[in-house]
Chains A and B, each alone.
Chain A
Amino acid sequence: MKWAWVFYVILLVVGVPWYWRSDDLSNLLGVPHWVWVAVACSFLASLVTLAIVFAGKWETDANERPGSGE
C-alpha cells in the first residue's frame, strides 16, 4: 500500500508544529490548539497503520531469499 506513505508524510508535516506562531496561547479545554493538532495527526497515523495491517496485502515473500550478498 504505497499510497499510505503519502498520508504518513502529510501527517508528519502537519503534526509537528513548526508553522505555529511561537506566542500562540489559544487553547481548547485547557489544551493548546497546536497540541490538539499533534494528537489528531497521531490518531490519523494510527488509523492509516490499522488500514495497512488489516486491509493491505502483507509482503511476506520469505520464500525468496532476499539478496545473496557478495
Chain B
Amino acid sequence: MMLASTPLDPKAVGVISVYILSMLLIGWWGYRARRENTLRDFYLAGKGFGFFVLVFTLFATQYSGNTMIGFTGKTYRIGYAWIMCLHFMTAIIVFYLLFAPRLHCLAKKEKFITPVDFLQHRFGSTALNLVASTVLIVALGNYLLSQLMAIGRALEGLATDNPKQAYLYGVVILAIIMVIYESLGGLRAVAWTDVIQGAIMTIGFIFLVVLIFQKFGGLGTALEKIMTENRTDTLKVMPPPASRCREWFSYIFLVGMGGALYPQAIQRIYAAGSLNSLRRSLGVMAFLPLLMSLLAVTVGIITLANFPGLSTIESDRALMVISREIQSASQLGYWVVVFLFAALLAAIMSTADSALLSISSMITKDIYAGIINKTVSEQQLTRMGKGISWIVVAIIVILAIALREKATIVSLLDRKFDLLVQLVPAFFLGIRWQRLQTRPTLYGLLIGLTIAITLAAAGHGKLLNIHAGLWALTANAAIAIVGSLLCNQNNINTSNRNNAEQHKKQ
C-alpha cells in the first residue's frame, strides 16, 4: 500500500484545492438566491434562517477550525486544566439567555441589521454608537487575524519542506477565495458553507479521534506515559493550583459574556427566522461544548503524551503533528486527515467570513451611513460594503504574515474578549434594566476600555490571574449602575421641584 511520504503530497493538495474552490460555487448560489439588493438581504439573508441552518451557523461562530487547533494547542501547553474550555463555551449559551430572546423580538420589530442598531434604538447617542462600533470592529479585526493565522498554522504544520512558504501562500490565497465568495453571496453564502463545513469538521474530528485511539491508545495509556516517561509534564494532569483556578473562573465570565456579544452572533440572533428556531438552536448549542471541547482536549492530551517537548509556538500545531502520524499510518487515516483539514480550513474561512461580513456591515451602516453620509442609498451601501471587505482582508493578511512567530492563537483571543466584555452593561443591562442611562453607560465604557487597554499594554493581560477585561468591566459596570441611579435620583428631584413650583404658582 502506497502511503504519503509527505503530508501534503500533490494528491492531497489537489483534493483540498477542489474542496476549497467549491466554496466559490456556494458563493455563486448565494448570489443567485438573493431576493433584493438591500443591506438586510446581504447581511441578514433576508427573512432569516430556519432551525437547521441557524444551529450550524451559530455553531460555526463559536467553533471554527481555529478553535479546534487553538484548544488542542492550549491543552498541550497546560494539560487537563484546559477542560475549562468546556465551562466557558457552555457559559456563552447561558449568557445568551439573558438577552437573546428579547433582542430577537426587538430586532424583528425594529428591523435591526447591526448590533449598534440596538444601541441606537435604546440610547440614541451618536458618541456611544461610535465608541461601540470601534470596539466591535477592533475586536472582530483581532478575531479575523486569529482565523487567518490559524489557516497559516494549519498549512505550515502539514508542510514538511518549507513551512514558512506554506503559511504565506496559504494565508494569501485562502483570504482571496474567502473574500470573493463573501462578496458574492453575503450571509446566505456564509451560513450555507457553515452548515457543510460544520458537519464535515465534526464527523472528521470524531473519525480522527477514533484513529488516534487505535494508534496511540486511549486516555489511560496517555496518562500512564505522562506519569512515567514525561515526568516534567505530570503537573499537567494534576488538579490545577489556586492561580490556575482563578484564571478558570475568569475565563468562564470573560469568554461567556464576550462570546455572547460577538457581533456576528448577535446578527445571527437577528437573522433567526422565528423565536422557535432560536429556542431550538440554543437548546442544541448547550450540548455542543460536550462534544467539540472534549474532542479537542482529548487530542491535546494524547499529543502531549506522545510528542513531548514542543515549544509554545509549535504547540499551536499539536493537532497537525498528531494528524501527520495518523495520515501516514493507513490509507483510511490518510483520507480522513485530508478531508478533515480541507473542512478545517473551509470552516476557518467561513468563520472568518462571518467576522468580515460583520465588520463591513458596521463600517458601512453604523459609521458611514450613521455618521458621515446619512442620505446614501442601500444599493450604494451594499456595494461599498463589498469594497470594504477587500480592504479589511488586505490589512489583516499583512498583519497575519508580520505576526507569524509572535503570538499564540489563544493569546490573541484573550485580547479580543477584554474589549468585547466592555459592552456588557450597554447590551445586557440595556435590554433588561429600564433605568440605565446613556451618559453613565458611555463614561463607564470609556473608562473600562482605558483600564483594559492600559493593563494589557503594561503587560498585565491578567492581574492576579483574572483577565484585565474583567477588572475593567467591574469599574465600567459600577459607573454605569451608580451613575444611572444618581441620574434617576436627580431626575426625580428636578421633577419634584418643578411640580412644587407649579403648585406654588397655581
Residue numbers of A with Cβ under 8 A of B are 8, 12, 15-18, 20-25, 27, 29-32, 34-35, 38-39, 41-43, 45-46, 49-50, 52-54, 58-63, 65-70
Contact = CB atoms under 8 A, between A and B. Distances in A.
Contacts of A38: 83-84, 86-87
Contacts of A61: 102, 105
A42 to B, nearest CB: 5
Contacts of B97: 49, 52-53
B487 interface: yes
Interface in B65-109: 80, 83-84, 86-87, 90, 93-94, 97, 101-102, 104-106, 108-109
Contacts of A42: 86-87, 90, 289-290
B435 A67 contact: yes
25 contacts: A12-B87, A15-B87, A16-B87, A16-B252, A21-B239, A25-B227, A25-B238, A29-B219, A30-B218, A30-B223, A32-B223, A32-B238, A42-B87, A42-B90, A45-B87, A50-B287, A53-B280, A54-B279, A62-B102, A66-B431, A66-B434, A67-B435, A67-B437, A69-B437, A70-B437
Q: Which of A27, A52, A63, A67 has the most chain B CB atoms inside 10 A of its CB?
A: A67
B252 A12 contact: yes
Given A24-B238, A45-B90, A49-B94, 9 more contacts: A34-B80, A38-B83, A39-B83, A41-B87, A43-B290, A50-B283, A60-B102, A65-B121, A66-B431
A8 B286 CA distance: 13
Q: Which of A34, A41, A42 has the most chain B CB atoms inside 10 A of its CB?
A: A42
A70 B437 CA distance: 6
A46 B104 contact: no
Nearest to B89: A42
Main SS of chain B's interface residues? helix
A58 B279 contact: yes
Chain B interface residue number, banded: 35 or more
The 3 lowest CB-CB distance pairs between A and B, nearest first, are: A30-B220, A62-B105, A20-B239
A37 B223 CA distance: 17
Contacts of B121: 65
A66 B430 contact: yes
Contacts of A62: 102, 105-106, 108-109
Interface of B: 80, 83-84, 86-87, 90, 93-94, 97, 101-102, 104-106, 108-109, 121-125, 218-224, 227, 237-242, 245, 248-249, 252, 275, 279-280, 282-283, 286-287, 289-290, 294, 430-439, 487
Contact of B222 (A20, A30, A59, A69): A30
B223 A22 contact: no
Contacts of A15: 87
A46 B437 contact: no
Contacts of B223: 27, 30-32
Q: Which of A24, A46, A63 has the most chain B CB atoms inside 10 A of its CB?
A: A46
B219 A31 contact: yes
Nearest to B440: A70
